[in-house]
Structure 1
Amino acid sequence: MFSVLQIRTQVLIHDGDDYGKVMPVEGWSGPAADDAAAQHKAHMQALDAYAAGAAALGKAVGQASDAIVAVQTAIYNADELARKYGFEITDAGGITDTYAGRQPPPELHPEDRERIHTQLVDEIAQILRTADDIDTDLASVLDRAAAGQFGTGDESTVAAAAADGLAAPGLAPPEPPPNATPSQAAAWWATLSPAERDLLIRDSPGTVGAMDGLPGSARDKANRTVLAQQEADLRRQREEIQRRMDGLKMSDPQQQNQHHDLQVQLDRIDGRLSELDKVSQALAQPGGRQLLVLDGGGDHLKAAVASGNVDTASNIVTFTGGFGSSVNGDLLDYDKRMDQIRQDADDMAARYGHGGKSAAVTWMGYDAPQSLDVLGTGKAEAGAAKLAPFLQGLDASREGDPARLVALGHSYGSTTTGIALRHAGVDAAIFAGSPGIDTGNITDLKVPPGQSYVLKNDGDPVATSGWFGKDPADMPGVHHMSTDRSFPTDGPPLEASTGHSSVNEYLKPGTTSQHNIAAVVADAPTQFTLQDQPGFEYHMPGRH
């Protein structure tokens, strides 16, 4: 239909413009000539309306065709996901359990099946919404074309009328569900055509970049656009303020006060520009980065930068920093350490594990405490409310190809992580230098049994404080990993780490602590070095 419309619209344009040239006839005047001219003008106006409507309709049909292909792909992917986890989607859009009354295979974990069931419900609901949206939008274009509502009616040629029709808005991408969960956001994105996705990234980068559940590549592209826009806008503001300051007379007390107020604004802008510059520097590091979060709300910039590709990685580790951490002060150092962990995890996976690649996310998406607010859990609870959907979104965005998710929190960031894991499930959790995870029972967290780990340096007063609940190292079911000096059989000795620092101790390359983190990320248990404690076998790196 699309190609037929295009062909007939071109015929209409060609023949219509030829017809437009038949009047006026040279040397013909009088009442008959006037009547013919009026009839010709009416015909041309009708042709203009037809051409504009045909062009608009052709565009809409093409958009609908692309959108329907995206919906069909979403249906196919939902069917495949359902089949993989023992479900079947009925013709009416319901979901049946193919293992009803019998035990599913052991590799299909009940929590995974529950999560996939929820995802399928969201996907089917969105598929139906999107299909209805396509139908409604296309019907609207048909009605408007039939009513001659496209074009201005003042075009000089039929070709110009068709161009106006083609420029008119066509089908609009469906809006995401209000207050969408990461699963719902992923389902919405999956039903969009490539053209619709590109349009949203171009026109609504802030919305796309902030939406948990969307692919990392889309969020990265959108957030980089927002980053550039914010930098340009702030520089324009800075120039205007500086111009105003330069025009003030410092000998005038009133203008001195104005100068002071403007200087405060300028300092604030300079601080934000410095934060944005740190993000830009992180994105420019070798090896590839993805900008997954860029949140300018509040006094300090919040961001999340991934080393590696979260859309294709087999393992994804998300690191949350603690007290005093900020984009301006810590992003580059955190990113450097996490990138090294990613590289080490890739090496371990190749030598001792499944061989999959990893991605490492430095998540600075909350206002970490900077002062006495570190004594309470308020900032941790607020941060967890953002970290939990972020983690859920990493999983939901993979469209049935989940990665192995690892959550890593240091100091107050471990408390934030612990609270988040009551709501978001991961495959493994690591708590480093932890003052507590706001619970005394590891089973309160959505982490599989035996997949929680703690790192506790000698000389770390925070890790022994138990300020936010029981010391994780003393919790049953938590592996206490060594941070002492160790001696791998197939590499140089690993140094001990002491004290509380993350960058300079727990995450420092060449330490047993950093080695253990990389081993958990790589899912290479033969490389773990565990404390000799009841219930856990002690392993030296490299031994099977």
Structure 2
Amino acid sequence: MPAGFRRLYKQSFTDIEKAAKAWQRLSEKARDGLSQHRKQVTGPLHKQGWKGEAADSGFYFMENIELRLSIVQIEAQAIARVLDTTKWRMEQAQTDLRNAVKTAEDNHYRVDDDGWVSAPASTDSIPRNDPDGQATLNVESSMLGEYRQWIQQALDDARTASDEGKRALSRLLGDILRDTNPAAMAETVRDIRASMGDLGIQDPQVPDDPKEAKEWWDALSREEREEMIALYPDIIGRTDGLPASVRNEANHLSLDQQLDIAQNDNTIDKSHSTDDYNQALNNLQKLKDRLDQSDGAPRGKELYLLKFDGFGDGKAVIAMGNPDTAAHTAVLVPGTDTTMDSVPGQVERISRLQNEALKRSNGESVSTIFWLDYDAPEKNLSVASDDRAQDAADDLRKFTGGVRAAQGDNRSHLTVIGHSYGSTTVGAAAAGGKGIGADDVIFVGSPGTTVANAGDLNMDRSHVWAGASHNDPIVNWASGLTLGTNPAEHVYGANVIEVGNGGHSSYFHDNTPGLYNQARIIVGQQPTSAEPWGPEYDPIMEVVPGL
């Protein structure tokens, strides 16, 4: 007789459901505690500049608490997922079992309390030497075998679901939180990957298109969203189109994980060498240090980590203020020699842009974004080729499309700023596909934008702005060579703004016309103009090339 028939047939899964919800609540409590600790404890201490031996010891202790809260958030969410998945699969097996019994009984087969299926009572009186009766018996016997097999398969499925769930749960043990375990987060990542593998759970297939990604996210329940953030932070954090607050939370989890992996257990991803991981550890620690300084920042000055990559020179996309809700949003694309080492300086630049824009915004909110999601060239390559700009163009278009998708009905006034080789990248992105969807584009200190004039940027030329200092060596030596026309020249056809006569970085210095005018454009106001470089622009040249 089938083993476990009676138990599965009558099994209630209420206890498993309650347990899964309890673990889900624990995960949420840990997440909330982590957020409050960062905003109310470590954040203010970082902001006040607490330094010294006592500070180092205190931060080490408090950051260990935060790491443990992260681990509880992640592991509790994983346990909830394992319980939910096991419950669902066993319920499916139970449904199959009950359907098998019902179908058999509807066809007059007998199923006893132990799950044994017998032929209908009507066949008991059929003579064995009756040819017609024998045919009937053969049919009944065949169906008898099918019903028995159906019941056995349901029981086997339930047993498999139970065994796989038990194995998956056994990996998620609290002993990773022991005091002597420096690789707790790395072990958590490894354990969860193995646990999900035990159940055959695949990574979420998030749409690549930002609009479709937003629709996918909006369709998830609150519990499903919490699960995605906790179990797949690397995927959620890098997905354009999702809310900035969601990406920020996911990326902070992922950053902690990547730091621990790089420092303690870099065998998880064997595609990188030890040297690669050492460089990544250095990059990621610099990123974390800068983000820590803004924990607990006042409303509008908080940083949102929208994307990062520690390998190589490092990549980072950071917003100051929430771009999803801002009335005005500016994206700054930096240029030559920008690496993870440059993050503090780039954050300072977007802060200055935001400060000046807020002075002119009539109370409306402003978010500024530092976008380094490409491999910016080294100085010796800055005027040689537009290859890196072209390689980055699609990613920049996708990012600005994601900003628009995440904003939804709150269509912010969007300005994209390209500085140095960043202007080459912005130009390549704007000229390709359907453009970057910006209301205004600003080029400052540009060696060229890959196009001959502003009419090639898939937008109204009257909203293309350019500024170039006569003391900027990049503009003087690189424009017009291999990356295209200087956008501040007459022939380009952009609006030329006053920027002063500083050096290549002066466009973002306080109390300069370059910073003031960029801020005016960001909030939709008219900047002060300057005389374009070179011969006067002639629009006929666009119609009859060569004139």
TM bucket (normalised to shorter chain) is 0.5 to 0.7
Whether 2:495 is the aligned partner of 1:479: answer: yes
State the 1:52 CA deviation.
4.1
TM-score between the two structures when normalised by the length of structure 1? 0.60
CA distance in 2, matches of 1:418, 1:449: 13
Structure 2 residue identity aligned to 1:320: V
RMSD: 3.8
Per the alignment, in what secondary structure is the counterpart of residue 414 of structure 2?
A: strand
Whether 2:331 is the aligned partner of 1:331: answer: no
What corresponds to 1:498 in structure 2? 502
What corresponds to 1:145 in structure 2? 94
CA distance in 1, matches of 2:495, 2:450: 18
Deviations 1:342-400 (A, max 9, x none): 122112102xxxx3211111111111111533210111111222211111111111222
State the 1:499 CA deviation.
2.0
CA distance in 2, matches of 1:409, 1:226: 29
**In 2 relative to 1, CA 182–238 (structure 1 residues): closer, same or farther, beyond 3 Å?**
closer
**In 2 relative to 1, CA 201–153 (structure 1 residues): closer, same or farther, beyond 3 Å?**
closer
8 Å CA contact 2:396, 2:429 repeated in 1: yes
Whether 2:244 is the aligned partner of 1:216: answer: yes
Whether 2:11 is the aligned partner of 1:51: answer: yes
8 Å CA contact 1:57, 1:145 repeated in 2: no
8 Å CA contact 1:282, 1:289 repeated in 2: no
Deviations 1:141-170 (A, max 9, x none): 864331255865999xxxx9xx9xxx9999
2:398 to 376, 386, 389: 389
**In 2 relative to 1, CA 403–50 (structure 1 residues): closer, same or farther, beyond 3 Å?**
farther
- Within-5 A mapping of 1:290-369: 290-296=304-310, 299-328=312-341, 330-350=342-362, 355-369=363-377
Whether 2:281 is the aligned partner of 1:273: answer: yes
Structure 2 residue identity aligned to 1:522: V
- Unmatched tracts of structure 2, length 5 or more: 22-85, 98-153, 170-194, 538-547
Whether 2:434 is the aligned partner of 1:425: answer: no
1:196 to 224, 239, 243: 224
CA distance in 1, matches of 2:267, 2:19: 43
State the 1:281 CA deviation.
2.5
**In 2 relative to 1, CA 399–174 (structure 1 residues): closer, same or farther, beyond 3 Å?**
farther
What corresponds to 1:207 in structure 2? 235
CA distance in 2, matches of 1:174, 1:54: 27
CA distance in 2, matches of 1:153, 1:203: 24
8 Å CA contact 1:183, 1:213 repeated in 2: yes
- Within-5 A mapping of 1:101-140: none
Per the alignment, in what secondary structure is the counterpart of residue 234 of structure 2?
A: helix
8 Å CA contact 1:45, 1:153 repeated in 2: no
Structure 1 residue identity aligned to 2:520: A
**In 2 relative to 1, CA 477–194 (structure 1 residues): closer, same or farther, beyond 3 Å?**
farther
**In 2 relative to 1, CA 463–215 (structure 1 residues): closer, same or farther, beyond 3 Å?**
same
What corresponds to 1:514 in structure 2? 515
CA distance in 2, matches of 1:143, 1:48: 11
**In 2 relative to 1, CA 357–229 (structure 1 residues): closer, same or farther, beyond 3 Å?**
same
What corresponds to 1:529 in structure 2? 528
8 Å CA contact 2:508, 2:514 repeated in 1: yes
State the 1:431 CA deviation.
0.3
Per the alignment, in what secondary structure is the counterpart of residue 511 of structure 2?
A: coil
**In 2 relative to 1, CA 139–281 (structure 1 residues): closer, same or farther, beyond 3 Å?**
closer
Deviations 1:170-192 (A, max 9, x none): 9x9995465x2112112211211
Per the alignment, in what secondary structure is the counterpart of residue 474 of structure 2?
A: coil
Structure 2 residue identity aligned to 1:388: R
CA distance in 1, matches of 2:507, 2:90: 61
State the identity as a percent. Answer: 26
Structure 1 residue identity aligned to 2:503: G
Per the alignment, in what secondary structure is the counterpart of residue 462 of structure 1?
A: helix
What corresponds to 1:438 in structure 2? 450
What corresponds to 1:466 in structure 2? 480
Aligned length: 364
Deviations 1:260-292 (A, max 9, x none): xxxx96654443222112211232334310000
Per the alignment, in what secondary structure is the counterpart of residue 307 of structure 2?
A: strand
8 Å CA contact 2:452, 2:492 repeated in 1: no
What corresponds to 1:378 in structure 2? 387
Per the alignment, in what secondary structure is the counterpart of residue 316 of structure 1?
A: strand
8 Å CA contact 2:237, 2:251 repeated in 1: yes
8 Å CA contact 1:292, 1:306 repeated in 2: yes
CA distance in 1, matches of 2:93, 2:411: 44
Deviations 1:320-354 (A, max 9, x none): 111111112x110110121121122112102xxxx
8 Å CA contact 1:214, 1:393 repeated in 2: yes
8 Å CA contact 1:182, 1:396 repeated in 2: yes
TM-score between the two structures when normalised by the length of structure 2? 0.59
Per the alignment, in what secondary structure is the counterpart of residue 145 of structure 1?
A: helix
8 Å CA contact 2:251, 2:306 repeated in 1: yes
State the 1:446 CA deviation.
2.9
Per the alignment, in what secondary structure is the counterpart of residue 199 of structure 1?
A: helix
Whether 2:419 is the aligned partner of 1:407: answer: no
8 Å CA contact 1:369, 1:379 repeated in 2: yes
Deviations 1:470-526 (A, max 9, x none): 221124541100023xxxxxxxxxxxx4122x2xx111111110111111112222x
CA distance in 1, matches of 2:371, 2:237: 14
**In 2 relative to 1, CA 449–376 (structure 1 residues): closer, same or farther, beyond 3 Å?**
closer
CA distance in 2, matches of 1:427, 1:444: 15
State the 1:452 CA deviation.
1.0
Deviations 1:429-454 (A, max 9, x none): 11001111111121221333411111
State the 1:425 CA deviation.
1.5
Structure 2 residue identity aligned to 1:292: L
8 Å CA contact 2:420, 2:446 repeated in 1: yes
- Within-5 A mapping of 1:219-234: 219-234=247-262
Per the alignment, in what secondary structure is the counterpart of residue 282 of structure 2?
A: helix
8 Å CA contact 1:341, 1:517 repeated in 2: yes
State the 1:214 CA deviation.
1.1
**In 2 relative to 1, CA 197–520 (structure 1 residues): closer, same or farther, beyond 3 Å?**
same
Structure 1 residue identity aligned to 2:337: G
Per the alignment, in what secondary structure is the counterpart of residue 11 of structure 2?
A: helix
Structure 2 residue identity aligned to 1:518: A
**In 2 relative to 1, CA 177–334 (structure 1 residues): closer, same or farther, beyond 3 Å?**
closer
**In 2 relative to 1, CA 483–57 (structure 1 residues): closer, same or farther, beyond 3 Å?**
closer
Structure 2 residue identity aligned to 1:530: S
